């Protein structure tokens, strides 16, 4: 089972759920058993956040006007924790004194069930960040002059 979110617009909401489901899995609760305690509280929190998903609005265009004098940069941020790791990509448009940023895509992964050190997870985040940057440049016609990781 998966959620179709190719751009990662809901990555932060889904990451919370992925971590919660992994936590429930670790506690050996059966599929037909009710969850309780802190897990139930987290589940209710996720359900309350889910109501706000329909209010998410993302512009279809990154920028309405781009001239030949625009400097276009790709910025990719990555991070990791004991629960998982993520990468997010933005375009940054600079023209004269005007600067605009636009969300491009995001990717998240939960940490494996087997213990992995935080530095190793940071490296995994860097890998998905590089892959996200490569995919972003290959699938867009926007000429990127500089890349920042």
Model pLDDT for residues 63-79, shown as the tens digit of each residue: 866 677 789 999 999 99
* pTM for the full predicted model: 0.84
pLDDT, average across residues 103-128: 94
What's the rounded Cα separation, in Å, for the pair 16 and 30? Answer: 20
53's tokens: 């998903």
Grade residue 81 by pLDDT with cuts at 50, 70 and 90. Answer: very high
Q: What is the helix, strand, coil percentage profile of the chain, to 5?
A: 40, 25, 35
Q: Where are the beta strands (DSSP E) in the chain?
A: 71-80, 84-95, 98-110, 146-148
Read off the tokens for 40: 């139930």
φ/ψ region of 28 (left if φ > 0, alpha if ψ in -120 to 50, else beta) reads left
Range 107-123 average pLDDT: 94
Looking at 3.40.50, 2.40.160, 1.10.3470, 3.10.20, the CATH number of the domain 71-148 comes to 3.10.20
CB 148 within 8 A of CB 87: no
């Amino acid at each position: 089972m998966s959620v179709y979110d190719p751009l990662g617009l809901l990555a932060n909401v889904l990451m919370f759920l992925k971590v919660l489901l992994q936590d429930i899995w670790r506690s050996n609760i059966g599929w037909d058993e009710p969850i309780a305690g802190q897990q139930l509280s987290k589940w209710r929190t996720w359900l309350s956040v889910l109501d706000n998903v329909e209010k998410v609005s993302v512009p279809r265009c990154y920028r309405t006007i781009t001239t030949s004098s625009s400097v276009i940069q790709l910025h990719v941020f990555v991070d990791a924790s004991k629960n998982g790791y993520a990468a997010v990509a933005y375009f940054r448009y600079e023209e004269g004194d005007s600067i605009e940023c636009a969300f491009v895509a995001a990717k998240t992964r939960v940490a494996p069930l087997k213990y992995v050190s935080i530095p190793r997870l940071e490296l995994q985040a860097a890998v998905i960040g590089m892959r996200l940057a490569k995919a972003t440049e290959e699938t867009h016609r926007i000429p990127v002059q500089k890349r920042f990781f």
